[in-house]
Structure 1
Amino acid sequence: MRRARDAREWMSAASDGPATMLLLGIKDLKQINEHMGRSVGDKAIRRVGEQLRAFAAQQLSPVSFMARMPGREFMLVVKGNDVGRHTELAAQKLLEMVSSNLGDADAPLHVSARVAIALSQPGESRQQLVSRATQALADAYERKGQRFVIADSSKIAVSPDRAKLDAAMRSALAQRQIAIVLQPQFEVATGKLVGAEALARLVHPVLGEVSAGDLFASADRCDLREELSYHIQQEAIAIAAKWPAAFGHLRLAVNLGAEEMTDHYGARLLQSLTDAGFPPNRLTLELTEESLVRDLQLAAGQLELLRSKGVRIAVDDFGTGYSSLAYLKALPLDYLKIDKGMTPDIAGNGKDRIILRAIIAMTKALGLLIIAEGVEKPEELEMLKIEGCDYFQGFLRAPPLTPQEFAAMARDLV
């Protein structure tokens, strides 16, 4: 398989006609290296490359270019861009192949992979095609359960140069310049403000506003995801700790990634709360289904420790992963967050609404509270109220706000 240098040369050459690009990334390579050893990580990369070559020979034709990219990604280019649904099915097949056991008989090895698909557009350079595929892969990494993403074809998008973005991310992290915005959360029945979810933003003087997907993809390349996520949690807790006494009923929600779930995570988070002076019983920890796949017992132990101190636990993006029911049974939980991609289904008809209604009923039966993400229309909120959803967030009431904007809104509502 060709190397990154060949890929750079391919990108710099002129386009030779329509093409379809598949960009595959090993989402959990860092965890494999840390918990199983770099030699196992290197084996995973080799085995994924072998599977990619086998896939190309069996599923796609004609393949015009294939290469190993820096870090954890692989590029595959097929001539023509009119393959449509066939490419989606091929991507699913590739994910099945890569997700199979890549280890030996006595040492199983599984990886979590993501695939981006980008169809070339008229007048688009190869570099621009790669940029769109890279952005789509970053989105796939962030969507927590959506294993492949088709790049936006409505416009030619140019993502920030990786080297510049990585340097900017490192600098911003070192100088604590990554900003926090707060997504307000409301009670469905009354519309009362109940808290906010903390999200990260980076506005760079040259690169402009860097998306969360690009930011965390950069942190992954630099092996700094854990540091970035920890920084975001610390900053958010420090902001909430300065809320006035009148905001004493408001909760703060922070996100948890897989790389942070260690034997020391709970103690570290509790120490951050103590240092900032923010009560643990006003914090909600939102974790994705994928965050727990590797060691469910470890996760349960850490979450029990946090809950014993008052921290509440939410499963984020419910409905996008494959182990939802197992987590509901095995983990100490307080909330379930319905993925924003499912929220529009609540106002629909037929099977979509039936499935969502069943999820809500099951959650209620388990004694959990429900938070709906991505609520944008009044009819969605009305149906959430009818179905018994407890809380919601989304552009219907408020977009993510700066800490100052959130405080101003909260003062008007308390």
Structure 2
Amino acid sequence: MVETSAALAASAAELGLSPGEQLLVAAGVVAVAVLVSLLVLLRRQHRRQNSLLRTDPLTGLGNRVLLAEVGERVLAALPELDGDGRHGPGLLLLDLDGFKDVNDTLGHAAGDALLVQVARRLDDAAPAGAVVARLGGDEFAVLLTTPVTTAQAVLHGKRLLAALGAGGFSADGVDLDITSSVGVAVAPTAGRTIGELLRHADLAMYEAKRSRAGVLPYTADLAPESSDALTTLSALRQAMDQGELTLLYQPVVDARTRQLCAFEALLRWQHPTRGLLTPVEFLPLAERTTLVSPLTRWVVLTAVRQAAAWRRAGLDTTVAVNISASVLEPGLLGIVDEALARGSWPPEQLVLEITETAVASDAGEALEVVRTLGERGVRISVDDFGAGYTSLGQLRELTVHQLKVDRQFVTDLLGGPEDEAIAASIIDLGHRLGLRVIAEGVESGAAADRLRDLGCDELQGYWVGRPMSADLALERWQPGAARAAGAPGAEVSASPTSPATG
């Protein structure tokens, strides 16, 4: 500043200014320089304050303010992003199970340390371009800023659960297992403002916790004040009596021989006005009522009856049925016994698929029911393995026969070494436990060949065959039929992420 003033004074002298005028010029320049410096400092301070307003001070993630600002900005562009009414920004909402116990037992400092670790894990697992925010307490949100479908958003939610379930968390020298549930809301169907997406993702998250679903997308039926819920529930009761429910069947083949091993029964509702509905559009509502039990009974009885009809026609195969976590209670034993007796069906040719999160839940009655079914000869398959957090101890205690590798690892199998390493580890783990391993979501011959080389036992997915009617299944898969896995066929199109009842 002194050197600058001296230089300006010399320049003023060269211009023939008097000493007094030179002094005024120098003083004016100094004043301007000071003002500029103050403006720079104020701007920096303003930027820091804005950053602090948008940042969670504990974890360094964004906060609710940042989430709202970015959310409203990307939602404002929704008409340009969403060309078909089904793609838009998505919001994933989650909180930690049992976090209060950490605070109460180990203290708030340990709880804060755990939240920092969780924040880093979520930030690493979130897709590129996503905004990861801590909303307060143990509640986190991930905003998917690029257009996604509900199925794609659910897949991202499974990846978050897998990241949290991978372990490695500790606080105050104590190793901690982290479990959570994820609610999913995708614009525009689940809302066109960030407030609507937050509210609906919150409803889905708490329903996912209640039903032990792991990841659950929002549907209108989840809203407690929704008249759609009562309408859908009433219509679903009638659907079972009026023949509107149907099962499609997706083949499962041996990874080496490509011979048929089983069919997975997939529930669909041919709604008179809404068209063909997948379970995600009506099952969460049924799970909150007593209707889920008769619905499960209808699915199990229908699947076993169809398998028996196939056997009489020359197609002898196993049939698999998804079982909702909400019906893992003694009443399920009676449903299974009735189906086996009516169809004169051997229990070892019935597979009940339960999700990994259902097994992981600490529900003594549910675990006892699963164990009893296995002891009676019914085969038990753990679905979506790798997306949750089943303990090895539980797998040893239960009479489990199969593991199904979660489709997220199969879908990305050829995209990088990380997902292949995870798939290979799950396959190896299953074999070490004496289980058969099935990969779902196989969509190419290259993926099928790689899974075979990794030692996977069975394959399921669009490359093997899409879900199809019972008649088409018999036509294409009975002995001698000219149908090979991966060959094109007129199968019924259905969502690859849609389970039978869960």
**TM-score category by the smaller chain?**
0.5 to 0.7
> What residue in structure 2 maps to residue 204 of structure 1?
271
The answer to whether the Cα contact below 8 Å between 2:93 and 2:183 also exists between their aligned partners in 1 is yes
- From 382, 402, 406, give the equivalent of 2:469: 402
Give the equivalent residue in structure 1 for 2:323: 256
Q: Is the 8 A contact 2:315 2:474 kept in 1?
A: no
- What's the CA shift string for 1:19-41, capped at 9, x where partnerless? 89969799xxxxxxxxxxxxxxx
Q: Tell me, in whole angstroms, the C-alpha distance in 2 between the residues paired with 1:91 and 1:323.
A: 28
Q: Is 1:86 matched up with 2:131?
A: yes
Question: 1:342-353 counterparts in 2 under 5 A?
Answer: 342-353=409-420
1:203-243 CA distances to partner (integer Å, 9 max, x unpaired)? Answer: 11211121220120231354422332222112111211211
Question: Could you list the per-position Cα deviations for residues 253-275 of structure 1 after superposition, in whole angstroms to 9, with x for gaps in the alignment?
Answer: 11122221213432431222102
2:187 aligned with 1:116: no
- The answer to whether the 8 Å contact 1:360/1:370 transfers is yes
Stretches of structure 2 lacking an aligned partner (at least 5 in a row) = 1-71, 77-88, 96-128, 142-178, 220-225, 482-502
- How far is 1:250 from its partner? 0.7
Residue 292 of structure 1 aligns to a residue whose secondary structure is helix
Is the partner of 2:374 in helix, strand or coil? Answer: helix
Q: In the alignment, which residue of structure 1 is the partner of 2:246?
A: 179
* Aligned-partner Cα distance in 1 for 2:246–2:133: 36
**Do the aligned partners of residues 167 and 264 (structure 1) sit closer, same or farther apart at CA in structure 2, a change above 3 Å counting?**
closer
Question: How large is the RMSD of aligned CA atoms in angstroms?
Answer: 4.3
| Alignment partner of 2:387 out of 320, 334, 337 | 320
Specify the SS of the correspondent of 1:382: helix
State the distance in 2 between where 1:171 and 1:381 align. Answer: 41
User: Aligned equivalents of 1:361 and 1:22: distance in 2?
Assistant: 34
Name the CA shift for 1:247/1:339 in 2 (closer, same or farther; >3 Å).
Answer: farther
DSSP-derived class of the 2:408 partner: coil
Kept after mapping to 2: 8 A contact 1:95/1:115: no
Deviation at 1:119, TM superposition (A): 5.0
Please say if residues 409 and 420 of structure 2, whose CA atoms lie closer than 8 Å, have aligned partners that are also in contact. no
Give the structure with higher Rg (CA).
Answer: 2
Counterpart residue type for residue 183 of structure 2: V
Contact persistence 2:94–2:139 (CA under 8 A)? no
Query: Does the CA-based 8 Å contact 1:280-1:309 persist in structure 2?
Result: yes
User: d(CA) in 2 for partners of 1:262 and 1:371?
Assistant: 26
Say if 1:313 and 1:332, in contact at 8 Å, map to a contact too: yes
**Structure 2 residue corresponding to 1:237, chosen from 301, 304, 322:** 304
Give the Å deviation of 1:369.
0.5
Question: How far apart, in 1, do the equivalents of 2:248 and 2:400 lie?
Answer: 25
Structure 1 393/23 Cα, relative in aligned 2: closer, same or farther at 3 Å? Answer: closer
Q: CA 1:413–1:307 in structure 2 vs 1: closer, same or farther (change >3 Å)?
A: farther
Equivalent in the alignment of 1:168: 235
Shift in Å, 1:314: 0.9
Aligned residues of 2:233 and 2:286 also touching (Cα < 8 A): yes
How far apart are 1:150 and its partner, in Å?
9.7
CA pair 257-119 structure 1, distance change in 2 beyond 3 A: closer
Native 8 Å contact 2:261 2:318 kept in 1? yes
Cα distance change, pair 88–195 in 1 and its aligned pair in 2 (3 A): farther
Cα distance in structure 2, aligned partners of 1:360 and 1:383: 12
TM-score, length basis structure 2: 0.55
Q: Say if 1:391 and 1:144 are closer, same or farther in 2 by CA, change over 3 A.
A: farther
- Greater alpha carbon shift after TM alignment, 283-292 vs 172-181: 172-181
| Mapping of residues 13-162 of structure 1, within 5 Å | 18=75, 85-86=130-131, 90=135, 93-94=138-139, 113-118=181-186, 137=204, 141=208, 146-147=214-215, 161-162=228-229
Instruction: Give the direction of change, closer, same or farther, for the CA distance of 1:170–1:183 in structure 2 (3 Å limit).
Output: same
- Please say if 1:370 is aligned against 2:437: yes
1:286·1:314 contact (CA, 8 Å) conserved in 2?
yes
Q: With structure 1 as the length reference, what TM-score do the two structures score?
A: 0.65
Identify the match of residue 216 of structure 1 among 263, 280, 283.
Answer: 283
Is the partner of 1:198 in helix, strand or coil?
A: strand
3-state SS of paired residue (2:139): helix
